[in-house]
C-alpha cells in the first residue's frame, strides 16, 4: 500500500516536472537562439523548491563568472559562520596621561575590527557625522585638547592598509564599487566627484568639487566633453594607497550639470583619521600613524568608546539589496579569521561542508563577484539557495535581504558582458548566468527577465 502510494506520487510528480520541462525547454531553446548570445556561454539550473529535484538545467556543471549573484553564497556563508547577531566593534582609546592644561602625553587610537558599516549613510546611527561627533565629544569630554597624534590600529588584519582582491581589474579599482577594504573602513570607502560638461564637444569637463575628498590625493582631470547622447563614460583610475587619481573618458555635452560620480578611497584609515583631526580642530601637522601589529607600548590604553556595528542580519540586508562589493570582501575576511582559513577558500569550503558541493565547482577570487576570474556553477548556487531555504533558521532574514526585481525575489549580477540572476520564484529555486553576450546590456536583461517570467 505504502509502495503504491509512493509510486503514484512519483508519477504525478514526474508528470508535473515533465510538463514544466517541455514548456521551459521550448522557451529556453528560443532564448539561446537569440543573436545576443551567438558567442556566449550560459547556464541555468531550476530546482523544485520543496524536493530539490532538478526541474530544468542546461550546462549546470560549467563554471561561469557569476558577477554579483555570488553574493547569495557569501551572504549565506556569513549568516552561517558569523551568525545573524554578529556585530563589529571599533574602539576609541588613548595612551598616556592628561595634564591639567588638557595636554595628553600620548596618542588617540582608533582600533579597527573591519566594520564595513562604519560611517555608512545607510543607518542613522552609523552615519559619518554621527560617529565623528560622538568621538569628538568623548575626547573633549575627557578634557583632551592636544595630543601627540592619532594612531590607526589595523592589527586585527595585519597586512596592507587597503586590501583589494587579486581578481579586481584596473578599470574597477578607482570607482566606488571597486573600493578596497581595511580593518578601518569609513563612509563605505567612497567619496563623490561632481562634474559638469564643458560648453563645446572636446572641451575639458569641469571638476566642480569633491565631496569628502580622500586626504593627500592629487586629481588629474583628463575628461573631455563628448557628443550629444554619448552619456557618462567617465572613469576614475586610482590605486589602493595611491596618490594620483586620473579622471579619464568623456561626459556627453547634453549631460546635466553637477552630476556626481563615486570614487574609491585609496586609504580609508587615513580618511577617518583626517576627519577626526578636523573634528577636533587639530592642525594638518598632527601626526597620523598606522600600526599593523599590537605594539608592546600600547598595553596601557584607556578605552573611550566601544562602538558596535548594526547586527549581521542588517549588514547582509544592505549587502544583498545594494550589492556592496566591499561588504562582501570584509565578510569573507571576517570568516577567514574566525575559522582560520585563507580568504579564497571560504566559499569553496562552505559549499563543500554545508552543501556537499565539490570545491572545484567554486573557484572564486573574492566575496563580491566583481572579479571576472570568478567561476561557479549555477548548480552550486541553486543548491545553496535550496538548502538554506530548507534548513536555515535565518532563512526569513536572508530571503528578505534579496531584492525583488521584475516581481521576483532574486539577486542580480552584472560585470562586463556578463549578466546573472539567482533566487526564488513560484516554488522554484533558480540560478542563471550568461557570459560574453554581445550588444546592449539593457536588451539582454529584458530577454532574461522575459525568460524568468515563464517561471512565475
Ligand X SMILES: *[C@@H]1O[C@H](CO)[C@@H](O)[C@H](O)[C@H]1NC(C)=O
Stretch that binds ligand X, among 25-33, 73-81, 272-280, 315-323 (CB under 6 A): 25-33
CB of 31 to ligand X, least distance (A): 6
Q: Which residue among 39, 129, 257, 293 contacts ligand X (CB under 6 A)?
A: 257
The residue among 170 and 209 lying less far from ligand X, judged by its C-beta, is 209
CB of 192 to ligand X, least distance (A): 12
Does position 49 interact with ligand X (CB under 6 A)? The reply is: yes
CB of 208 to ligand X, least distance (A): 5
Does position 443 interact with ligand X (CB under 6 A)? The reply is: no
Check: CB of residue 238 under 8 Å from CB of residue 247: no
Number of residues in contact with ligand X under rule CB under 6 A? 24
The residue among 36 and 230 lying less far from ligand X, judged by its C-beta, is 36
The residue among 3 and 101 lying less far from ligand X, judged by its C-beta, is 101
Does position 97 interact with ligand X (CB under 6 A)? The reply is: yes
Does position 117 interact with ligand X (CB under 6 A)? The reply is: no
Does position 340 interact with ligand X (CB under 6 A)? The reply is: yes
Stretch that binds ligand X, among 22-30, 109-117, 243-251, 410-418 (CB under 6 A): 22-30
Site for ligand X in 195-214 (CB under 6 A): 208-209
x-marked contacts with ligand X along 294-313 as a string, rule CB under 6 A = -x-x--x-x-----------
CB of 217 to ligand X, least distance (A): 12
CB of 26 to ligand X, least distance (A): 6
CB of 38 to ligand X, least distance (A): 12
Binding site for ligand X (CB under 6 A): 19, 23, 27, 30-31, 34, 49-50, 97, 124, 208-209, 257-258, 284, 295, 297, 300, 302, 340, 424, 427, 447, 454
Amino acid at each position: 500500500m505504502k509502495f503504491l502510494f509512493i509510486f503514484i506520487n512519483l508519477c504525478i510528480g514526474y508528470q508535473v516536472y515533465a510538463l514544466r520541462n517541455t514548456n521551459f525547454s521550448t522557451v529556453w531553446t528560443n532564448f539561446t537562439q537569440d543573436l545576443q548570445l551567438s558567442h556566449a556561454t550560459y547556464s541555468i539550473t531550476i530546482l523544485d523548491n520543496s524536493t530539490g529535484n532538478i526541474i530544468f538545467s542546461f550546462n549546470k556543471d560549467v563554471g561561469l563568472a557569476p558577477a554579483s549573484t555570488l553574493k547569495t553564497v557569501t551572504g549565506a556563508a556569513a549568516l552561517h559562520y558569523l551568525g545573524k547577531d554578529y556585530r563589529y566593534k571599533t574602539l576609541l582609546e588613548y595612551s598616556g596621561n592628561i595634564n591639567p592644561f588638557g595636554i595628553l602625553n600620548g596618542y588617540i587610537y582608533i582600533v579597527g575590527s573591519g566594520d564595513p558599516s562604519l560611517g555608512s549613510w545607510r543607518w542613522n546611527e552609523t552615519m559619518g557625522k554621527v560617529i565623528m561627533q560622538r568621538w569628538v565629544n568623548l575626547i573633549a569630554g575627557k578634557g583632551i585638547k592636544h595630543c601627540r597624534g592619532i594612531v590607526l590600529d589595523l592589527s586585527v588584519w595585519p597586512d596592507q592598509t587597503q586590501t583589494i582582491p587579486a581578481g579586481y581589474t584596473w578599470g574597477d579599482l578607482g570607482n566606488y564599487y571597486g573600493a578596497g577594504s581595511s580593518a578601518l573602513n569609513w563612509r563605505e570607502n567612497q567619496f563623490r566627484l561632481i562634474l559638469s560638461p564643458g560648453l563645446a564637444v572636446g572641451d575639458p569637463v569641469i571638476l566642480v568639487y569633491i565631496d569628502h575628498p580622500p586626504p593627500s590625493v592629487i586629481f588629474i582631470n583628463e575628461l573631455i566633453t563628448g557628443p550629444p547622447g554619448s552619456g557618462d563614460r567617465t572613469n576614475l583610475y586610482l590605486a589602493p594607497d595611491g596618490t594620483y587619481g586620473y579622471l579619464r573618458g568623456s561626459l556627453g555635452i547634453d549631460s546635466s550639470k553637477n552630476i556626481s560620480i563615486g570614487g574609491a578611497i585609496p586609504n580609508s584609515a587615513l580618511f577617518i583619521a583626517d576627519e577626526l583631526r578636523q573634528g577636533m580642530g587639530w592642525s594638518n601637522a598632527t601626526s597620523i600613524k598606522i600600526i599593523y601589529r599590537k605594539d608592546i607600548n600600547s598595553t596601557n590604553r584607556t578605552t573611550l568608546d566601544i562602538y558596535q556595528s548594526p547586527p549581521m542580519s542588517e549588514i547582509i540586508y544592505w549587502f544583498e539589496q545594494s550589492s556592496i562589493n566591499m561588504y562582501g570582501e570584509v565578510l569573507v575576511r571576517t570568516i577567514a579569521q574566525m575559522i582560520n582559513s585563507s580568504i579564497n577558500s571560504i566559499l569553496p569550503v562552505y559549499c563543500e561542508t554545508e552543501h556537499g558541493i565539490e570545491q572545484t565547482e567554486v573557484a572564486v577570487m573574492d566575496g563580491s563577484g566583481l572579479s571576472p576570474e570568478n567561476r561557479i556553477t549555477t548548480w552550486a548556487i541553486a543548491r545553496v539557495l535550496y538548502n538554506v531555504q530548507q534548513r536555515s533558521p535565518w532563512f526569513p532574514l536572508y530571503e528578505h535581504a534579496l531584492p525583488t526585481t521584475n516581481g521576483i525575489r532574486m539577486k542580480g549580477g552584472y560585470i562586463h558582458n556578463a549578466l546573472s540572476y539567482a533566487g526564488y520564484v513560484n516554488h522554484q529555486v533558480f540560478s542563471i548566468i550568461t557570459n560574453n553576450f554581445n550588444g546592449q546590456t539593457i536588451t539582454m536583461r529584458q530577454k532574461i527577465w522575459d525568460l524568468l517570467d515563464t517561471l512565475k
